[in-house]
Amino acid sequence: MHTRPLTQSDVPAMWSINEQGLPGTGQVTEAEMAQLLNVATLARGAFSEDVLVGFVICLAPQADYGSLNYAWFNARYDEFIYVDRIAVSANSRNKGVGAALYQEVIASSTERIIPIAAEVNLNPPNPGSMRFHERFDFAEVGVLHHAEKSVTMLLREPSGK
């Protein structure tokens, strides 16, 4: 497995992997995925024999993005790297793909000395994602209730801070 920056040519595969992760990843169209990639500050894909098996998309504060979860962090923090989504193909889960992608996010956070912001669904619950984030030392900093779901808001302080 190797990682590299994502490009617009990766969008169809990204969309397919995102669909496999529903409802935890949040549904988007291919066009929305392409726009998300355009505003991303960090977008990395994990590849096995040149086939995308997972990806992470992160945003800096104040990007042109309408997510209520992202807006929650913008209202409370001046600096962060926001993990909008991390998704791994169904047949590549539990093989270290997500961890490898998060190591790249952590390296960026550490280099820039800024926290990592993320959220995980509470309702519907996503216990696997909660365990994953706990392993990476994320702490709950709030809960946001939406009409059809609730999410726990998580923050990971940069290493060395």
Per-residue pLDDT tens over the stretch 56-89: 999 999 998 888 999 999 999 999 999 999 999 9
Domains in the chain (CATH in brackets) are 2-156 (3.40.630.30)
- Residues 97 and 46: beta-carbon distance below 8 Å: yes
pLDDT tens figures, 89-130: 999 998 999 999 999 999 999 999 999 999 998 888 888 889
Per this entry, what is the length of the chain? 161
The DSSP code for 90 is G
pLDDT band at 161 (very low <50, low <70, confident <90, very high): very low
